[in-house]
Chains A and B, each alone.
Chain A
Amino acid sequence: MPPRELTVHNLKVGYGERTIIDGLELAIPPGEITCIVGPNACGKSTLLRSMSRLLRPKAGQVLLDGKDIHRMQPKTLARMLGLLPQNPIAPEGITVADLVGRGRQPHQGLFARWSKEDDAAMAEALEVTNTVELADRPVDELSGGQRQRVWIAMALAQGTETLLLDEPTTFLDVSHQLDVLDLLTDLNRQRGTTVVMVLHDLNLAARYSDHLIALRDGSIRAHGKPEDILTAKVVQEVFGLHCQVIVDPSTLKPLILPAGRHHMLEHTRL
């Protein structure tokens, strides 16, 4: 199945009277990994939430293959576009397999008849995320890293070609952050899943994204390949952070070396 085109047209969105984003235009490159970065309260999550229909725009549209997602049946959209929110809640005592199975909801009728297809999608999601061994364990007992794999498995069981994730690496230690991002990369490379995620860590975003979007005050300040757009000037402009950008010797991707007020050598002071 060809990846779907997710585009944002003249988007105006906010909470109550407050407008966070106004007149935003964006085309997510299909089949690639896109990371959205920016300082706190820049509208990253707001953008992701409106792209997944959790927020209704005040004006403008979010289009999936040219169709306004706010005019689609929720169930139809849920079969094409998956979302892992920032703080999903695991129902008390639920097992991994059952939670992953919940991802099949949009494929089932009103009275959840379970089909062979559902079992197949679940099996695949468990295998892909390496959670088969955890299938019978209660989700409450898992470590943070394992839990995040399970939530990704649930989103995979949903069987969507596009997957949005709101800060999928928060609360994870460094090795598990890489683990999650590697898994998402595997998914993208092998299945062509379009991945869009909000990430806090600029260096991880630079390493893992094909396409990077830098947001500030609700508007896009730079977008493109990380190696093309991530310069000291852009980081200064978007994050208000003095830094040096060097080439990461192990990936040849841009690596940000932030400058602080302390510990800097004389000649590196900016």
Chain B
Amino acid sequence: MNTISETTTQPRVQVLTSSTEERTALINQLGSIRGQRARQRRIILAVLSLLVLSMVIASLCLGQTNYSPAQVWQVIQGHKVPGASFTVGTLRLPRTAIALIAGLSFGLAGVSFQTLLRNPLASPDVIGISTGASAAAAFAIVMLSLSGTVVFFFAIVAGLLVATLIYLLSYKGGAAGTRLILVGIGVAAMLESLISWVLTQAGQWDLQEATRWLTGSLNGSTWAESIPALIALCVLGPLLLSQTKYLDSLQMGDDTAAALGTRVERTRILVIMAAVGLISFATAATGPIAFVAFLSGPIAGRLIGNRGSKLIPAALIGALLVLVADFAGQYLLGTRFPVGVITGVLGAPYLVYLIIRTNRAGGSL
């Protein structure tokens, strides 16, 4: 005997669509939030660009001897200005140009790596890629007495090799973030000792060279050094920026990204190659200016919040960090410090903070 009624009740379907007015209000609300954020983003980018520009002008005008912007402008135009032509034209201009190019490159490459590997510690200067490029450049210059484009070639090959090596060493059915970072830190330490060894083998122990390849320095910058780095930035920078959307989607995991139409492997390879290229070229010009790549992304993240991608803001922050640190190192501290020492002092506490924080949270690195 079946006591159960054979008729099921009508399903209580939750009506999914609300009234048109409510919907329109919500759409408008979403639209206005978006518009507001876009405006705020433009303001942040404009302010950062202005700061970078003023630092560029300050680095050109101010120093042991101060020149007016008008004098500097004359030098840039190629007029002969007594004193200024040498100080500004030969010393400050290439130095500032390299600071700008390297800062943008480090910032952009750093944030790309951090986003791709979903970890702020996965910056190329922490996981040994900058150190690899630096070791190769130091080896080429000090041991092989090479100069010019060949050095850049050495740096980029070494950068890519180190990236591949770290990837292979940490690969175990899919490269895991934490393992990759730990392996990278180990590789960085090894390469640093290699740099020290290269420097001791040099004919004369040149302190300037040493600081350059160990922590990064802009001393003795020349135009010849800036050109390859500039070309790399102009080619690889836009390439990286074109991947912004796909890079951001990878933060949600490979599967989600693929479901949203991202070509996961292609994006990953493009981003790694472009970021390693940027880092290597900039490092061959300045040495591995400590922690700029590492710091730029998180600072940009704090500033930009949920107002879109961090890539461009991080590049600007990178430039600002290098310009300010170099200026401070040269003129504000009594003794002259190379730029990498200043950025190192800024970056090291943040590295310690990050490690303590992740440790407290009980998380892995």
- Chain A residues within CB distance 8 Å of chain B: 49, 52-54, 73-79, 82-91, 93-95, 97-98, 102-103, 105-106, 108, 110-112, 114, 116, 119-120, 122-124, 126-128, 132, 155, 158, 182-183, 185-187, 189-191, 247, 249, 251-252
Contact = CB atoms under 8 A, between A and B. Distances in A.
B314 to A, nearest CB: 15
B251 interface: yes
A37 B245 CA distance: 35
B259 A127 contact: no
Interface in B6-28: 6, 8, 11, 13-14, 16-18, 22-23, 26-27
22 contacts: A54-B258, A74-B258, A76-B261, A87-B253, A88-B252, A88-B253, A90-B252, A91-B252, A103-B260, A106-B261, A108-B245, A110-B242, A110-B245, A112-B244, A116-B31, A119-B30, A119-B34, A123-B23, A123-B30, A127-B23, A190-B16, A251-B8
Contact of A119 (B6, B27, B249, B260): B27
B118 interface: yes
B173 to A, nearest CB: 9
Given A89-B253, A119-B27, A77 B16 contact: no
A127 B14 contact: no
A74 B265 CA distance: 13
Contacts of A85: 253, 255-256, 259
B185 to A, nearest CB: 22
Contacts of B204: none
Nearest to A151: B256
Given A185-B11, A189-B13, 16 more contacts: A54-B255, A54-B258, A74-B258, A74-B262, A74-B263, A76-B261, A78-B261, A85-B256, A91-B118, A105-B249, A105-B262, A106-B261, A123-B30, A126-B26, A127-B26, A132-B26
Contact of A186 (B6, B14, B118, B251): B14
Contacts of B70: none
Interface of B: 4, 6, 8, 11, 13-14, 16-18, 22-23, 26-27, 30-31, 33-34, 118, 242, 244-245, 248-249, 251-253, 255-256, 258-263, 306
A247 B4 CA distance: 10
B240 to A, nearest CB: 13
Contacts of A247: 4
A106 B256 contact: no
Nearest to B31: A119
A264 to B, nearest CB: 25
A161 to B, nearest CB: 15
Given A106-B260, A106-B261, A182 B14 contact: yes
Contacts of A103: 260
Contacts of A94: 306
A249 B4 contact: yes
A245 B332 CA distance: 83
Contacts of B244: 111-112
Contacts of B242: 110
Contacts of A158: 259-260
A97 B33 contact: yes
Contact of A98 (B14, B16, B306): B306
B259 A78 contact: yes
Contacts of B8: 251-252
- For the complex of A and B, list the 8 residue pairs with the smallest distance between their C-beta atoms, beginning with the closest: A78-B261, A85-B255, A83-B259, A75-B261, A106-B261, A91-B251, A123-B26, A74-B261
Given A74-B258, A116-B27, A186 B13 contact: yes
